[in-house]
């Protein structure tokens, strides 16, 4: 697997797509586990439009060995570096009839273990007893996100759309996008493929129009330690 091109694309454009990371057999095993879990826990969010599991790797620890196959381990080591660890994991299922639409945004918060006053950390939010905060920019700039696709995804079932290179412009408010200079790219990903992105890239997704599922496992990685009073809530090597 020649990863240098992908590494360059992430640095320059803020994202890349790599297909054929998981075999059909591996994906089917992951789906089988997902279809047989107890969904009554409070970290699970269910509605007609969306099913989501926060703290995914904590909630379903036995899925870890399937997710971190040799391909993923090589990608983390060669593209990210030796000292990266998991800091956040979410599973999203946008059902076939979902009209879930996500406007352009950056991922500006990290999940932490408690709320305390710290310089340059804020604003804070709390969802289902989970604390999220906007950290200083250098922490956000350092995160990589891997999105594992359990279904073929294109513009008809909510593939991510991104604004290339927007990850390198700091905090970039969506209302300030100048479409005279920016372009939009739809990120099609095959079942068993991954998209890697920097959280500061402007991204969104359209409604599903083709009646097909879009299930994605979203995992964020960092190699930064937080101030000693604060911990990543999902830190996992």
Q: What is the pLDDT of residue 190?
A: 98
Q: What is the pLDDT of residue 76?
A: 98
160-173 tens-digit pLDDT: 999 999 999 999 99
Q: What is the pLDDT of residue 112?
A: 97
Residue 24, both tokens: 């059909």
Query: Has residue 49 got a pLDDT over 70?
Result: no
Look at the chain and count its residues.
237
CA atoms of 76 and 74, how far apart (whole Å): 6
Is residue 194 within 8 Å of residue 146, measured between CB atoms?
A: yes
Query: Has residue 138 got a pLDDT over 70?
Result: yes
Q: What is the pLDDT of residue 1?
A: 76
Percent of the chain whose pLDDT exceeds 90 = 78
Query: Has residue 101 got a pLDDT over 90?
Result: no
Query: Has residue 58 got a pLDDT over 90?
Result: yes
Sequence spans of domains, the chain: 4-222
CA atoms of 23 and 39, how far apart (whole Å): 26
Spatial CA neighbour of 77 closest among 137, 140, 144, 151: 144
pLDDT: which is higher, 36 or 147: 147
Q: What is the pLDDT of residue 97?
A: 67
67-96 tens-digit pLDDT: 999 999 999 999 999 999 999 999 998 776
Mean pLDDT of 114-136: 92
Q: What is the pLDDT of residue 42?
A: 72
* Beta pairing partners, 229: none
Query: Has residue 43 got a pLDDT over 90?
Result: no
Architecture of domain 4-222: Sandwich (2.60)
Query: Has residue 179 got a pLDDT over 90?
Result: yes
Q: What is the pLDDT of residue 232?
A: 97
Residue tagged 């809530």 (tokens): 233
Q: What is the pLDDT of residue 152?
A: 96
Q: Which of 29-33, 34-38, 66-70, 147-151 has the lowest mean pLDDT?
A: 34-38
Residue 61, both tokens: 């620890």
Residue tagged 């694309």 (tokens): 9
On average, the pLDDT of the chain sits at 93
Query: Has residue 98 got a pLDDT over 70?
Result: no
């Amino acid at each position: 697997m020649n990863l240098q091109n992908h590494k360059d694309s992430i640095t320059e454009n803020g994202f890349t797509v790599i297909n054929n990371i998981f075999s059909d057999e591996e994906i089917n095993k992951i789906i089988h586990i997902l279809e047989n879990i107890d969904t009554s826990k409070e970290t699970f969010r269910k509605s007609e439009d969306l099913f989501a599991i926060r703290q995914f790797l904590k909630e379903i620890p036995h899925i870890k060995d399937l997710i971190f196959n040799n391909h993923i381990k090589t990608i983390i080591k060669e593209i990210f570096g030796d000292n990266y660890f998991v800091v956040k994991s979410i599973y999203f299922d946008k059902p076939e009839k979902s009209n879930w639409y996500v406007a352009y945004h950056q991922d500006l918060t990290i999940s932490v273990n408690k709320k305390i006053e710290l310089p340059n950390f804020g604003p804070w939010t709390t969802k289902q007893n989970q604390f999220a905060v906007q950290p200083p920019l250098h922490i956000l700039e350092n995160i990589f996100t891997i999105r594992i696709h359990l279904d073929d995804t294109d513009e008809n079932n909510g593939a991510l759309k991104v604004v290339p290179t927007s990850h390198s412009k700091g905090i970039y408010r969506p209302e300030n996008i100048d479409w005279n200079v920016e372009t939009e790219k739809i990120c099609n990903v095959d079942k068993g493929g991954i998209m890697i992105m920097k959280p500061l890239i402007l991204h969104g997704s359209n409604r599903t129009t083709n009646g097909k599922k879009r299930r994605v496992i979203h995992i964020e990685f960092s190699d930064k330690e937080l101030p000693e009073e604060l911990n990543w809530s999902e830190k996992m090597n």
